A and B are shown apart, each in its own frame.
Chain A
């Protein structure tokens, strides 16, 4: 039996295929766009191709998650992304952990006990502050490609201070920094710091912190900044963008094995 986890997130859709031994067979990531069902379908096909598998999709057991979890035509059940991220992270780090997931549209802080049971979770309030959408908006304002942010932030010697909660207010602050001749790299590092600050405001963190999500996958420097703040190492799972989908596949395996 093959198990699939499908994570239809606000910006990207992720599919992973898993074997009976919890081995990853293949995966794919595509932009979620406007037709969640079609993208989930296309992602599955691509993951199957990547895995070199010619299986009838009917023989795959699937759990879907993410914003579009109810839109996946071929799913056999769904779970929230909070449960799936937790499960995916605990698979890589089986101890009491705090998970920080920075997503395209929201942030989550999830607390697990040593058995992997969820104690608590928090989601950011209705605001783009601290999320991927915030960085996207700022990249647009600064007229730099999104994929350049990480390297720019790394080059910075002295991050600029950005104080506001709100994305629009931050944009105004950024304009002011530009006017004062601040370096773009320092502004970008300031933006990264702002993301981390928003997350740290959400909840207390336990000793072991895991950071995950697409934003971290593309901007690994966020992890470094978080470590600087916490004065201790922060863990990142092997495939930070796929954690939710991996968690969903693990749930599929757990639910449908021997059934």
Chain B
């Protein structure tokens, strides 16, 4: 991977994020809310909470390959090896009192929550995950129950979700001891929208041929859009990164030297194998230019003038919440923009919710878009479900196939 200048700033934002939270956890102020990755973060931040995302911790456990050591302890509690490995590795890390935050930031333990807030828009696992902590730490658990697998979204669904988000306020006021402040909330929504717009623009630089960056770069640089959306820092970050990407385009600098093939990544990243996969694909002169995963943190429907409704819309219109027909149209539109010649589906053993190969989509898209698809078996965090050798052979064979076309 070619380094970005902006990476220094990224490291600082992430360090500040965790160190501030560690301090707050120790001092009891500000209060800390745990939030699911596509949960109502704007409301929490707008009400003065620091927001911690357990899924981000799950990804860190995956990337540091610590996850596979922790998952079995949670399995032993009765949480199946077939359910979300973010859940199992994160709870396992809590049980073992070991976290990658220790080495990365000198933080002894994950910041304790004052409230747990979920949205089931992505899956039920997040609620089960937070419920475990609610019982363990005796912390209030609240959340939004979303509609799933929807094609057309109507005002009915939007209104329902908006009301559910409003319904969180009394508990949040009680936990924080502060009154809800509409102006502050609106400002957070605005910042989150600005961050989303910039994140979209950042991702869309990969439409350039050759692409200035890869999906693997994006999985790292997406962190502020995930954990710091709704803050000025996140907005500033992408304002720094975008010019760097544009400069690469202007200078003809390719993320993958001699780019010959462009792929789309569908499904979860395999966190513990980002580097070997990125190196393998680079050696095959192949750039993964776009992914549903990184696109999933674009919430540019957000509108400070209609904060609740627009949040309802943003968190319901998400890819993961939608039906197959919508998902196919979505990938088709990405194909037009990013001009990829193949799609790599990752069938993540423990995340059926975000494995989109399972209902015939690769076959339908291959036919419709006239391109090749490949499905590899793996997992987001549980490396017991991944055969590196087999995946390597499949990817090499896939690129050989693209060469024959």
A-B interaction: yes
User: Hey, which bits of chain A sit against chain B, CB under 8 A?
Assistant: 67, 79-83, 106, 117-123, 125-126
Contact between A125 and B400, CB atoms less than 8 A apart = no
Chain B's interface: helix, strand, loop or mixed, by majority?
helix
Contact, CB under 8 Å: A123 / B405: no
Is the Cβ of B393 less than 8 Å from the Cβ of A81? yes
A131 to nearest B CB, angstroms?
A: 12
Residues of B within 8 A of A117 (CB): 404-405
Q: Is the CB of A126 within 8 A of B387?
A: yes
Are the C-beta atoms of A83 and B400 separated by less than 8 Å?
Answer: yes
Does B366 contact A106, Cβ atoms closer than 8 Å?
Answer: no
Q: List 8 A-B contacts (CB under 8 A).
A: A81-B393, A83-B401, A117-B404, A120-B366, A120-B373, A120-B401, A123-B394, A126-B387
Tell me if B372 is interfacial: C-beta within 8 Å of chain A.
yes
**For the complex, what is the distance from the CA of A120 to the CA of B404, rounded to whole Å?**
11
Residues of A within 8 A of B393 (CB): 67, 80-82, 123
For the complex formed, measure the closest distance between the CB of A65 and the CB atoms of chain B, giving whole angstroms. Answer: 10
Complex interface: chain A residues within 8 A of B341 (CB): none
Nearest first, the 5 closest Cβ-Cβ pairs linking A and B are: A82-B397, A80-B397, A118-B401, A83-B400, A117-B404
CA gap between A205 and B60 in the complex, in Å = 42
Residues of B within 8 A of A (CB): 366, 372-373, 375, 377, 385, 387, 389-390, 393-394, 396-398, 400-401, 404-405
Q: Is B366 within 8 A of A123, CB to CB?
A: no
Q: Which residues of A contact B400 (CB under 8 A)?
A: 79-80, 82-83, 118
Contact of B372 among A67, A83, A120, A123 (CB under 8 A): A120
Cross-chain contact B390 with A121 (CB below 8 angstroms): no
**A123, B404: Cβ atoms closer than 8 Å:** no
Whether B377 and A121, one on each chain, are in contact in the complex, defined by CB atoms closer than 8 angstroms, is no
- Cα A123 to Cα B400 in complex, Å, equals 15
Asked whether A123 lies within 8 Å of B401 as measured between CB atoms, the reply is no
Residues of chain B within 8 A (CB-CB) of A125 are: 377
Known: A117-B405, A121-B397, A123-B390. 6 other contacts (CB 8 A): A80-B396, A82-B394, A83-B401, A120-B372, A123-B393, A126-B390
Q: Are A118 and B404 in contact (CB under 8 A)?
A: yes
